[in-house]
Homo-oligomer: A and B are copies of this chain.
């Protein structure tokens, strides 16, 4: 799915909700935990319950990798159940020297055919370039993250008075166009979203940190939206674990519907 098609889906549905499939076997309802393919069955139920409210799904690879090869099969099977109308993100935060990043890009863009993958910026241009070489896919680079640890290095002040995260975003923005480059910007730092919009007015921002991590949808929408919407707001735990009983899918649908309604107002 390219940028034009993504914007079309957002306009049509009046939603910029991304549902994060960070599925943890120990947190899904007990009545499902013991069935074969529990994680896959849970994911399918969540996808079916939320697809009318969201425009993207983000698969957090860590939660699948922990099961070894079996986990990667579940990623593949889950992807097969995501409708073609929905944008798919591998939240994998990869990044290495060029020949290695090329393998990671191949993994997520060819072997698994995700629309996008998240990438860590520390190692610089040649670690990100192999992802950007896929002009019909999206590279989503960590800018400012939503966790406490963002203070350790992302908020280091550089000699020109800018924070490291500002230098990261402004430099990487010159390496490609908004057609295939997005940034991760944590919603817990809503006051910074307006600042980031001055650096990258056109790129989509993938926003984690609303819900379980405490960010405000209203603030992020107010400071982060651009003429194309330009936001993908991810919710994981609040949707996935809305109920730990048999009504978990209905409860997930209700939470997703609630975000959808709020987004219809903000868009």
Contacts and interface: CB of A to CB of B under 8 A. Distances in A.
A207 B133 CA distance: 28
Contact of A121 (B100, B122, B161): B122
A70 interface: yes
Contacts of A72: 68-69, 71-72
Interface stretch (A30-38, A105-113, A243-251): A105-113
A68 to B, nearest CB: 5
Contacts of A73: 69
A227 interface: no
B93 A94 contact: yes
Contacts of A128: 149
Interface string A141-172: 01001111111111011110100100110010
A121 B150 CA distance: 10
Contacts of A156: 158, 164, 167
Contacts of A142: 122-123
Given A153-B167, A156-B167, A120 B95 contact: yes
Contacts of A96: 60, 62, 91, 93
Interface string A65-90: 11111111100100000000000000
5 closest A-B pairs by beta carbon, nearest first, are A124-B149, A124-B152, A62-B103, A69-B72, A69-B69
Interface of A: 22, 24, 60, 62-63, 65-73, 76, 91, 93-101, 103-104, 106-107, 110-112, 120-128, 142, 145-154, 156-159, 161, 164, 167-168, 171, 208, 213
